[in-house]
Structure 1
């Protein structure tokens, strides 16, 4: 499975787009706001010579209001810190990275329309807001993307749980599409080894691209338990597996196709992440936290002239909303394996099973892990 060739979030700004269905991820980003702004502020304060330009990379930026939201946080932190120090703010260069199949055109159109407002958002009390420049950088963050020692700050949100490729599996993960209690140990081991190799490669590449003392904030879908096959990792995917199983029983999906469909994702624990950071050795750990994003607090994004504004709406069908969000993220994976013909049916069934889960008042939280790192000298 060559993910680089086809994997991307749904483009555009329509009803099925990632732009319109990224509320869950947005909630997670908002919970990391303090960590992001503190990292940027400390970066500015720690420099003996105040930087003239702060160069940032947002890796796995995707598209939509979340992309502009992170940039807004960085600009805000730079402006506030500069004002507190009585200095003119540095210029800010924000490099937006994702795979080549990402819908960069939608991002560029949004930047053209909203860039001026983004640069001054929430810094009206600052006389000299920073000048900000955006660049699109297509490519995999598991390889080199930027010149040596060119980055001051790196951010990535809900991207690094995705593997560079599906690991080679010696056994069939019968009845599952991800790690579950019935998953053979060999499959669980293969998933972890792939995540370990990918995460090491990511850290090594960033260590070469970042300046000494640079900061990096990473947020990943994760878990609190040490067992990757626990229900906490699988409960969001179990209803999708149930939808596919139902279609197999009705003769709508080939059973062999179902048995060979596995998601290229690994939800790591804080312990695993910290251990890998320490083994790789290029970064020191400044801060780690784990938090939940609850489906009940679902918020939808309504697009107006302000890309970073969230308008809260009542949505009684949380299961349907979550299904749309997940579809916006993995539709290309499902279509590549099963074909496009099943998409409407399988995600309709997925929404049904998610709604049933909600009605039973089962756990409706998604675990996230945020780690703030400093590039060692």
Structure 2
């Protein structure tokens, strides 16, 4: 099942919404600040004069307060670079991207308020999967993505074909299939990530930058102190997934 058709975070601002339950993701976004600032410093120090305009995109923005975190860092960094070089402000066009079922109503309201406080900024949304073309060739100066690239374009076809779940409730069966499942998802990630980079190479302007982060670990074995918590989460997700009908 393609993620573009089914995956989105809980919208709105209720107790179970992503907006109210995304502080961990926000902390990870803020860790990207020095990387974004360095990328923009490199972008704007390649010539004697700054460009008149720049296009910045957040790929996988979701909704709520986090939707504006990365682009806010970008806009602040661009403004600071202009001040340091004593040149006029650069016009910035920012795009927020996520899957079509994302809560873009909340995103648009946030963008309106953001644009009112940043007069040299033009804003827009770009619904769609970043595993497909989103922007015209050579149009992006900076693309950012935080906590998004672990969402694959689809479940591995070989597992769907053989009706093998990512997490089997039967511990014995799960352990027997562990390497098969890990291998299938690793190959799917490699395929998706390669496509993501190929598309980025087309859509980024000459000298453009991509700053991305995603969760990972060095070992196939989960850390012992987190195993119990993740086992519980996996059981819940497995039960939810069993209720989804695959076409």
TM-score class, shorter-chain normalisation, is: 0.7 to 0.9
Q: 1:160 aligns with which of 131, 149, 162?
A: 149
Deviation at 1:71, TM superposition (A): 1.6
Residues 92 and 131 of structure 1 are in contact (CA less than 8 Å); yes or no, is this contact kept in structure 2? yes
Q: Does 1:218 align with 2:218?
A: no
Q: Does 1:205 align with 2:194?
A: no
Cα deviation 1:269-299 (Å, max 9, x = unaligned): xxxxxxxxxxxxxxxxxxxxxxxxxxxxxxx
Partner-residue secondary structure (3-state), 2:125: strand
* Structure 1 residues 277-288: aligned runs within 5 Å: none
Which residue matches 2:5? 5
Deviation at 1:30, TM superposition (A): 1.2
Separation in 2 of the partners of 1:15 and 1:47?
Answer: 49
**Structure in which a larger fraction of residues adopt helix:** 2
Which residue matches 1:312? none
Deviation at 1:70, TM superposition (A): 1.4
Residues 11 and 63 of structure 2 are in contact (CA less than 8 Å); yes or no, is this contact kept in structure 1? yes
Residues 115 and 122 of structure 2 are in contact (CA less than 8 Å); yes or no, is this contact kept in structure 1? no
Separation in 2 of the partners of 1:42 and 1:137?
Answer: 26
Structure 1, unpaired ranges of 5+? 120-129, 245-257, 262-333, 340-377
* Structure 1 residues 228-377: aligned runs within 5 Å: 230-232=221-223, 235=227, 237-242=230-235, 258=238, 334=240, 337-338=242-243
Partner-residue secondary structure (3-state), 1:184: helix
The TM-score, its normalising length taken from structure 2, stands at 0.87
Residues 149 and 210 of structure 1 are in contact (CA less than 8 Å); yes or no, is this contact kept in structure 2? yes
Separation in 2 of the partners of 1:19 and 1:164?
Answer: 23
Separation in 2 of the partners of 1:159 and 1:243?
Answer: 21
Residues 176 and 183 of structure 1 are in contact (CA less than 8 Å); yes or no, is this contact kept in structure 2? no
Deviation at 1:204, TM superposition (A): 0.5
Partner-residue secondary structure (3-state), 2:95: strand
- Residues 114 and 187 of structure 1: is their aligned pair in 2 closer, same or farther, counting only changes over 3 Å? same
Partner-residue secondary structure (3-state), 1:46: coil
* Structure 1 residues 55-94: aligned runs within 5 Å: 55-94=55-94
Partner-residue secondary structure (3-state), 2:214: strand
Which residue matches 1:137? 126
Greater Cα shift, 199-208 or 63-72: 63-72
Separation in 2 of the partners of 1:46 and 1:93?
Answer: 20
Which residue matches 1:362? none
Deviation at 1:241, TM superposition (A): 3.2
Which residue matches 2:188? 194
Residues 36 and 217 of structure 1 are in contact (CA less than 8 Å); yes or no, is this contact kept in structure 2? yes
Which residue matches 1:322? none
Deviation at 1:181, TM superposition (A): 6.0
Length, aligned pairs only: 235
Partner-residue secondary structure (3-state), 1:211: strand
Cα deviation 1:147-172 (Å, max 9, x = unaligned): 01001000000000111101132456
Separation in 2 of the partners of 1:61 and 1:176?
Answer: 36
Q: 1:151 aligns with which of 137, 140, 149?
A: 140
Separation in 2 of the partners of 1:100 and 1:38?
Answer: 31
Deviation at 1:184, TM superposition (A): 2.8
Residues 57 and 71 of structure 2 are in contact (CA less than 8 Å); yes or no, is this contact kept in structure 1? no
Residues 148 and 209 of structure 1 are in contact (CA less than 8 Å); yes or no, is this contact kept in structure 2? yes
Residues 56 and 153 of structure 1 are in contact (CA less than 8 Å); yes or no, is this contact kept in structure 2? yes
